[in-house]
Each structure stands twice: as C-alpha cells, then as structure tokens.
C-alpha cells in the first residue's frame, strides 16, 4: 500500500484527487489545479510536501568533510542558518538527486531529498558516510508543509505569531530558523515568497488546520509542478537524472569548482566535459501557437532535430505553453516543436518564465 | 465522484457522448465523467470540417494541464461542424460538457443503437471510479 502523510485524512476530507507520487498517496488537486496555481501567484497556498525525505547529520565536523566530498556544491559556503541547493553526483557526473542542505550550526546539517529517490539516495550515502564517520538518521518523524505566495507570511502571523513572522521576514531567501520546535526555512518550489516548515508529525494536522483557518488555500502537487516550471526550477527525473550532468541540465551554477583542490564525486567527469566543450544547453521554450508542450517532444531547428523537451506544461500565468528543453549548444532563438506530427514554432528563452507573480516573458 | 449522465444521450466506452439531431447529424462531446478525470482543460485540438472519419478513429485531442487525451469518433461519418469557441475557451468542456462544451457534429448514416445507453455507460463510469482512475488521464507528476 502507498505511504500516507499525517495529512492523508485531511486531504480526503477536502475532496482531494489523490495520486501515487513516488510511492506516496498525495493530493494532485482539491478541485481545480488552475485555481490553486493562481492562488499561489496572487495570494497564498498551502502544500503538504511531507513525502520529501529529511535526513539529519548530528556531528558538524565529520559531516562537513563528508558533504564536501558527496555534493557538487560546497557546504564550506554555508554558515549556521544558511541553506544550499546542490546536486549529488555519481562518478560519471550524472545526477543521483538534487537536494537542499541546511547548516544548523552545532546541531549539524539537514538534507532534504526527493521522495521518489529515497531508497537509492540512502543506499548511496550510507557507505560513504560510514567512511567519514558521519552519523545520520532519517527524520520520518517530521512532516513538511510549504506555505507560498505573496500573502503567505502575512497570513502566517495568525498562526506562528507576529514575532516569529518578523524573524522570518528578517531572513534572506535560502535561510532558516528554528522557533517553538518548528524548523522554518525561507525556501520553496514556486518562485514566490514563502516558507517551508518541518513540524513533528504529531503536530502537523493541527498546524495544517490553523494555516487553512488563517485563509491560506490548500494546493496540490499539480499546481506545485506548474509553479516550479514557470519559476524555471528543475524536476528530478524529468529535467535531469543519472544520465545527464548538471552542465547539460541548466545546473552548472550549482557546481562549486573552487577551491580547485576540493575532491567531490563526479568532479573529474565534469572537468572532462567542460574541457571537451559542453555539447548541450538547457533552455526555456515558449510555444508561439496554441497547444501544450510536454516532456519528450522533439525540438527542431529547420529539418534538424536539436533536442528534446524535458518538461513542459501549459503556463496558467502566461496563458501559453512553456517548457524546459535540452538542445544542442549554440542554437538560435527560434525552434520548432513536434506536437503530434505538426511542427509548431517556439521561442528559445532563458528561464525563469515567472517570478514573484510577474511574467518575465513578453 | 458522481457525474451527470443524461438519459437521452448515447455513449462510448472511450467517454464520448452522442446526441441525435433532427437533421440526421449527431453532436459529439466528452462526458462529465471524462472532464472530471482530466481536470482543468487548457487546449482542444479540433478536427477540420469535411474530414471523413471512421468509428473509433482519433479525431480531436483534449489537453488538461497534465495530460493529453484523444477523442474518438463514435461512428463512421463526416465532420460537418466543429465548436470553434473551444479554441479560446477550452474550459467550456469542464463547465458545460453536454452543452457549450460540445466538440464536433458528424453527418452519419450509421445507427446509434450500437452505442451504449446511459445505464450501460454509468456502469463503466462507476467501475472506473472504483478502479480509482480508469483509462483516462492518469497524470504523471514525477517521471
């Protein structure tokens, strides 16, 4: 049977359409995915993202050495309260997973990994952590809620208190604090302001109820996907996987090349790829005609196939189809996409498409 | 989930409804059950007027935010009219699947008796609900 979060009964009571997501029964939407998308862009939305995998490392010193070897970004850039987005690579430079690391000072480090990749991630990490003498445990006693949107923090004042929200407002993006037993991070997957909160499982339903009572709309993972795509954020398994490096996935910015003597898994392969010339580039596409872009559609420049869409959707904010695509490097700003045998013109753009409620694409 | 299944219409297993018109043509759309499964529709690819189609041939595509789904002709015939309004307002199918959300009109000499009646279609819709998803629009969030 599929796994359920502490909020399963809440989702069912709200009439959610529940779907399997990485082995979890998760809400796709509560009626209208489009309405939920607009709620987050224009007001605020609440997501249950408790299926995400949370791992805590207790000892700062050996963990720091471990993570500097395990991850392509460098946790030496962190300080207590700061978060880092990074890829975890295999020796070939392929992406095993993308994740966020939080520096919790003396308490250690917290990693938030994808749900669908949990088993292989933990199998990968286990022997390496052992070698570095870094003890860890999975925090399946924690749930995770995302409260996102321009009104998210204002709405949370009634739930967390004015003082706590003032402390959250004082945080820069990608920073976290711990208050009243809650881990609260100014992170998200929507391109809007907001937080991700990791409450103990037993308190989660109560917290969920209070956030809804404060006027935040429940939103499903369907809207989360269209929001992240508009925000130009990659989805593991669609936009990158073990066969693609960060350099061909629009994630070169997450690779810390300096200091040069830091040995991390996948470094040699990435350096070889960089020296040989990165063959592909990761771009945004905007369809110029009516239709919907989807993953695996083929992209053409004239008669020549130059790549594939890795994830595509209809953008509710832009009211047109958008996509992320991996195409040959050095292409122009126009292409065509094969949709059911028809080649429709698309514009090549640099993501994101939407940020903080504002369209960035004309 | 209970959906509306008008008694006077005929249906297909692939979730089209068929209404017999006085002029001998039939109007075709997708059922309330189907639009529920698909979710918010954002694009409809309609067939060209004049196209000849055979029963069970794909002749339109409805796309929701997450998935594309074929619409099949219920009978042999020729497309005589399409619902142009769907180009700008695909959500008409969600809002009024048996009315303003119609998709195309077919000139046909085929008999409607071979199609499902409301009761038979209802049995299929209920079985699918129990089966959770059925054949339509099982959305994939993470590949």
β-pair type (A298-301, A358-359) = unpaired
The predicted-structure confidence for B16-38, as pLDDT tens digits, reads as follows 999 999 999 999 999 999 999 99
- On whether both A204 and A261 belong to a single domain, the answer is no
Taking residues A335-360, what's their average pLDDT? 96
Verify that A76 and A41 share a domain, yes or no: no
Query: How many independent structural domains does chain B possess?
Result: 1
Max CA-CA distance within chain B? Answer: 48
Q: Reduce the DSSP state of residue A211 to 3 states and report it.
A: helix
Q: Is residue A307 part of a domain?
A: no
Assigned domain for A347 exists: no
Domain residue limits at B34: 10-125
**Using CB atoms within 10 A of its CB, is residue A357 exposed (0-12), middle (13-18) or buried (19+)?**
middle
Question: Mean pLDDT, to the nearest integer, of B108-115?
Answer: 92
Reported confidence tier of residue B135, pLDDT bands at 50, 70, 90: very low
Asked whether the predicted pLDDT for residue A66 surpasses 90, the reply is: yes
Q: Identify the CA nearest to A286 among candidates A346, A246, A234, A235.
A: A346
One domain, residues A163 and A27? yes
- Alpha-carbon distance of B23 to B1, in angstroms, equals 35
Determine, yes or no, domain membership for B135. no
In whole angstroms, give the CA distance from residue A244 to residue A263.
Answer: 20
Q: How much is the pLDDT for B2?
A: 72
Residues A225, A100 share a domain: no
Backbone angles phi, psi at A309, to 5 degrees: -75, 135
Which SS3 state, helix, strand or coil, does residue A261 take?
A: coil
Instruction: State how far residue A237 is from chain B, nearest Cα, in angstroms.
Output: 6
Is residue B73 in some structural domain? yes
Confidence tier at A361 by pLDDT (50, 70, 90): confident
Query: What percent of chain B stands above pLDDT 90?
Result: 82
What pLDDT is stored for residue B1 in this prediction? Answer: 53
Q: Is B143 contained in some domain?
A: no
Which chain A residues are within 8 Å of B61, Cβ to Cβ? 340
A359 located within any domain? no
The answer as to whether B35 is a domain residue is yes
Query: Is the confidence at residue B90, as pLDDT, over 70?
Result: yes
pLDDT at residue B129 in the model: 76
Chain centroid to Cα B17, Å, comes to 6
Query: Rounded CA gap, A360 and B29, in Å?
Result: 37
Q: DSSP states of A140-166 as a string?
A: TTB--EEEESTTHHHHHHHHH-HHHHH
> In this structure, what is the dihedral angle of CA atoms B73, B78, B80, B81, given to the nearest 10 degrees?
20
Long-range contacts from A252-261, C-beta under 8 angstroms, 24+ separation: A252/A278, A254/A72, A254/A73, A254/A85, A254/A86, A254/A87, A254/A98, A255/A72, A255/A73, A255/A87, A256/A72, A256/A73, A256/A74, A256/A77
Which of A230, A260, A286 is the endpoint of a domain? A230
- B-facing residues of A in 248-287 (CB < 8 A) are none
For residue A19, give the nearest of A36, A40, A39, A33 by alpha carbon: A33
Does residue A339 form part of some domain? no
Asked if residue B138 has pLDDT above 80, the reply is no
Compute the average pLDDT of residues A107-125.
Answer: 97
Distance from the Cα of B58 to chain A's closest Cα (Å) equals 12
Asked whether residue B40 is domain-assigned, the answer is yes
pLDDT in tens, A230-243: 999 999 999 999 99
What is the phi/psi pair of residue B67, to 5°? -150, 150
Look at residue B130 and tell me if it is in a domain: no
Distance between CA atoms of residues A316 and A319, nearest Å: 5
- Cα-based angle B49, A339, B140 (whole degrees, multiple of 5): 115
Q: Do residue A100 and residue A218 come from a single domain?
A: no
Task: Kindly report the CATH number assigned to the domain that includes residue A69.
Answer: 3.30.70.1400
Given A206, A230, A254, which residue is the final one in a domain? A230
Same domain, A196 and A149: yes
Whether residue A342 lies inside any domain: the answer is no
The region of weakest confidence among A157-171, A200-214, B1-15 is B1-15
Q: Does residue B133 form part of some domain?
A: no
| CATH number of the structural domain spanning residue A215 | 3.30.1360.120
The domain tally of chain A equals: 2
Contact A52, A85 (CB under 8 A): no
* CATH number of the domain encompassing residue B107: 2.40.50.100
- Asked whether residue A58 falls in the same domain as residue A116, the answer is yes
Reply yes or no on whether the pLDDT at B113 is more than 70. yes
Nearest CB among A21, A29, A292 relative to B68 is that of: A292
Residue B136 covered by a domain? no
Are residue A220 and residue A272 in the same domain, yes or no?
Answer: no
Residue A301 maps to a domain? no
For A103, the domain range is 51-130+245-276
Say yes or no for a CB contact (<8 Å) between A340 and B141: no
The 10s digit of each residue's pLDDT in A290-338 is 999 999 999 999 999 999 999 999 999 999 999 999 999 998 999 999 9
Is it true that the peptide bond before B41 is cis, omega within 30 degrees of 0?
A: no
Mean of pLDDT values over A95-108:
97
In a domain, A299, yes or no: no
In terms of domains, do A225 and A161 share one? yes
Across A145-149, A207-211, B124-128, B139-143, least confident range: B139-143
Report CB contact under 8 Å: B68, A294: yes
Give the model's confidence band at B134: pLDDT under 50 very low, under 70 low, under 90 confident, else very high: very low
Instruction: Using an 8 Å CB-CB cutoff, list residues of chain B that contact chain A.
Output: 39-40, 42-43, 45, 61, 63-66, 68, 87, 138-139, 141-143
Q: Exposure pattern of A67-89 as b/e (b: 16+ CB <10 Å)?
A: bbebbbbbbeebeebbbbbbbbb
A117 touches chain B (CB under 8 A): no
Query: Residues near A161 by Cβ (< 8 Å), separated by ≥ 6?
Result: none
Check whether residue A40 and residue A162 sit in a common domain. yes
Given an 8 Å threshold on Cβ–Cβ distance, is B65 in contact with A33? yes
If you measure CA to CA, which chain A residue comes closest to B137? A19
Average pLDDT over residues A328-357: 96
Distance (Å, whole) CA B8 – CA A209: 44
Query: Hey, are the CB atoms on A22 and B68 less than 8 Å from each other?
Result: no
With CA atoms as reference, report the closest residue to A210 among A3, A4, A7, A5.
A7
Q: Which of residues 290-349 of A touch B (CB under 8 A)?
A: 290-292, 294-295, 313-314, 316, 321, 340
């Amino acid at each position: 049977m599929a796994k359920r979060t502490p909020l399963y009964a809440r989702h069912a009571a709200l009439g959610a359409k529940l779907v399997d997501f990485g082995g979890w029964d998760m809400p796709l939407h509560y009626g209208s995915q489009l309405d939920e998308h607009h709620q987050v862009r224009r007001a605020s939305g609440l997501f249950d993202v408790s299926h995400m995998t949370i791992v805590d490392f207790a000892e700062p010193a050996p963990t720091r050495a471990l993570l500097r070897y395990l991850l392509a970004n460098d946790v030496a850039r962190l300080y207590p309260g700061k978060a880092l987005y990074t890829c975890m690579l295999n020796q070939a430079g392929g992406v095993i997973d993308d994740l966020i690391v939080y520096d919790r000072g003396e308490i250690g480090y917290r990693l938030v990994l994808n749900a669908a990749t949990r088993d292989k991630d933990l199998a990968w990490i286990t022997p390496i952590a052992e070698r570095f003498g870094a003890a860890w445990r999975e925090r399946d006693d924690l749930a995770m809620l995302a409260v996102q949107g321009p009104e998210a923090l204002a709405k949370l004042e009634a739930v967390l208190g004015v003082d706590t929200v003032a402390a959250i407002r004082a945080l820069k993006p990608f920073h976290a604090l711990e208050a009243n037993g809650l881990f609260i991070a100014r992170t998200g997957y929507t391109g809007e302001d907001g937080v991700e909160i990791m409450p103990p499982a037993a308190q989660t339903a109560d917290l969920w109820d209070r956030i809804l009572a404060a006027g935040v709309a429940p939103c499903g993972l369907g809207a989360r996907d269209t929001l992240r795509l508009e925000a130009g954020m990659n989805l593991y398994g669609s936009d990158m996987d073990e066969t693609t490096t960060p350099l061909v996935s629009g994630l070169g910015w997450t690779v810390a090349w300096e200091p040069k003597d830091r040995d991390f898994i996948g470094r040699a392969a990435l350096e070889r790829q960089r020296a040989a010339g990165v063959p592909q580039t990761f771009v945004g596409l905007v369809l110029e005609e009516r239709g919907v872009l989807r993953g695996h559609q083929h992209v053409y420049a004239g008669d020549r196939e130059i790549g594939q869409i890795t994830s595509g959707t209809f953008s509710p904010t832009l009211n047109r189809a958008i996509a992320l695509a991996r195409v040959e490097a050095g292409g122009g700003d126009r292409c065509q996409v094969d949709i059911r045998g028809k080649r429709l013109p698309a514009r090549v753009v640099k993501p994101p498409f939407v940020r903080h409620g504002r369209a960035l694409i004309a | 989930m209970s959906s509306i299944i008008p008694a006077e219409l005929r249906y297909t297993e692939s979730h089209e409804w068929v209404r017999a018109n006085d002029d001998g043509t039939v109007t075709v759309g997708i059922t309330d059950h189907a639009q529920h499964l698909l979710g918010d529709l954002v694009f409809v690819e309609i067939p060209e007027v004049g196209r000849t189609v055979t029963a069970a041939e794909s002749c339109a595509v409805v796309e929701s935010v997450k998935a594309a789904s074929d619409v099949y002709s219920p009978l042999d015939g020729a497309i005589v009219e399409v619902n142009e309004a769907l180009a700008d307002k695909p959500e008409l199918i969600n809002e009024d699947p048996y009315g303003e959300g119609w998709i195309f009109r077919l000139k046909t000499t085929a008999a409607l008796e071979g199609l499902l009646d409301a009761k038979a279609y209802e049995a299929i819709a209920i079985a699918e609900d129990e089966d959770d998803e059925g054949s339509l629009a099982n959305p994939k969030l993470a590949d």
